[in-house]
């Protein structure tokens, strides 16, 4: 089953045939495969999302190192698996000394390191972040190609599509929900977070307010929109003024059972099969709200 076929299946599933063209047409920022070894034996990942895809698909001994973020339980879904690898901090000198035959980076990962490694003739593949659920399939397949494990990647992609279909086949128009995180950031339907929301059977207040991707939703606009549910990002240690808006007394009404949900970054931020866990949790929260509202 080829990449275009898998993506088309997923687009039909999510959008009833109206695929989000902006990402379907996005060529991942990876040079032609001829620039990379067909079966790399010493692979280093230095991005949280590529870490996880590489750990899922690499053969034993093929992946040497993952980024330090892979050990952060707040943002990584594979902390225990990451302990088996050498940890890197995205510095050119430490990665070069590992003698990799392939380095995999994210589009916004330590660009100076990427440039330096390329000048040293180290092959570096740069992968764009996932911005939609159909990107999950594309990233799985691209990682399979880079690692030389296309068959395993196609099986994983097909499993993801099947699991997502099972989660969404009975979706109906559910409660209105707002994604609301630090600084009042929200996400519309043309974003990974927004499509997770939609896949869970929730209507997105941000889309109602004209946010197709992401942006800052003023607290006053959020309150006047009167969503049924507010979905916040999880707190991080310490105190941040950016998170103060999430503790505003006007949002206290959303502390009632079923009206407040928390995003767990490790399941939301990367385009991996772990987004299914976010959808399941959000569907449970939706069901709790509906039971409470009856």
What's the whole-number average pLDDT of the chain? 85
- The whole-number pLDDT of residue 32 equals 42
Question: Where in the sequence is the domain holding 284, given as residue range(s)?
Answer: 176-293
What DSSP state is assigned to residue 128? P
pLDDT at residue number 290? 82
**CATH assignment of the domain containing 182:** 3.40.50.1980
CA distance 275 to 104: 21
CA 11, 187, 251 angle in degrees (round to 5)? Answer: 135
Same domain flag for 226 and 258: yes
Task: For residue 170, tell me if it sits in a domain.
Answer: no
The count of domains in the chain is 2
Residues 12 and 155 in one domain: yes
The answer for residues whose C-beta is within 8 angstroms of residue 48's C-beta and 6 or more apart is 67, 69, 70, 75, 76, 106, 269, 270
- Residues 59, 94 within the same domain: yes
User: 44 with 148, same domain?
Assistant: yes
According to the model, what pLDDT value does residue 216 have? 92
Q: In this structure, are 157 and 182 located in the same domain?
A: no
Q: Digits of tens for pLDDT over the chain (294 positions)?
A: 454 455 444 544 444 433 343 333 344 444 444 578 889 999 999 999 999 999 999 999 999 999 999 999 989 999 999 999 999 999 999 999 999 999 999 998 789 999 999 999 999 999 999 999 999 999 999 999 999 999 999 999 999 999 999 988 766 678 999 999 888 889 999 999 999 999 999 999 999 999 988 899 999 999 999 999 998 876 655 556 767 777 777 777 776 666 767 777 899 999 999 999 999 999 988 888 888 776
Predicted pLDDT at 3? 47
Single out the residue in 165, 198, 231 at which a domain terminates.
165
- pLDDT score of 257: 61
Residue 32 lies in a domain: yes
pLDDT computed for residue 168 by the predictor: 84
> What number of CA atoms fall less than 13 Å from residue 161's CA on the CB side?
23
**In sequence order, what are the beta bridge partners of 87?**
66
């Amino acid at each position: 089953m080829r990449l275009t076929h898998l993506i088309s299946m997923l687009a039909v599933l999510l959008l009833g045939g109206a695929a989000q063209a902006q990402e379907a047409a996005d060529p991942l920022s990876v040079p032609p495969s001829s620039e990379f070894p067909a079966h790399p034996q010493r692979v280093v990942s230095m991005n949280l999302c590529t870490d996880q895809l590489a750990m899922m698909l690499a053969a034993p001994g093929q992946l040497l190192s993952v980024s330090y973020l892979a050990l952060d339980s707040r943002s990584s879904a594979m902390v225990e698996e990451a302990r088996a690898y050498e940890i890197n901090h995205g510095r050119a000198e430490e990665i070069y000394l590992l003698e990799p035959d392939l380095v995999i980076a994210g589009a916004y990962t330590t660009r100076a390191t990427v440039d330096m490694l390329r000048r040293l003739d180290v092959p570096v593949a740069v992968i764009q972040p996932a911005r939609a659920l159909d990107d999950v399939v594309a990233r799985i397949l691209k990682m399979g190609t880079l690692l030389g494990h296309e068959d395993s990647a196609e099986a994983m992609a097909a499993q993801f599509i099947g699991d997502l279909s099972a989660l969404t086949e009975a979706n109906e128009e559910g409660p209105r929900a707002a994604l609301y995180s630090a600084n009042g950031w929200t996400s519309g339907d043309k974003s990974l977070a927004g499509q997770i929301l939609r896949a869970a059977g929730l209507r997105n207040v941000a889309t109602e307010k004209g946010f197709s991707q992401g942006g800052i939703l003023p607290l006053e606009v959020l309150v006047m929109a009167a969503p049924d549910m507010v979905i916040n990002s999880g707190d991080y240690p310490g105190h941040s003024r950016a998170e103060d808006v999430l503790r505003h007394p006007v949002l206290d009404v959303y502390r009632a059972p079923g009206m407040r949900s928390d995003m767990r970054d490790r399941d939301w931020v990367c385009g991996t099969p772990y987004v299914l866990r976010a959808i399941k949790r959000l569907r449970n929260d939706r069901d709790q709200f509906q039971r409470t509202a009856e």
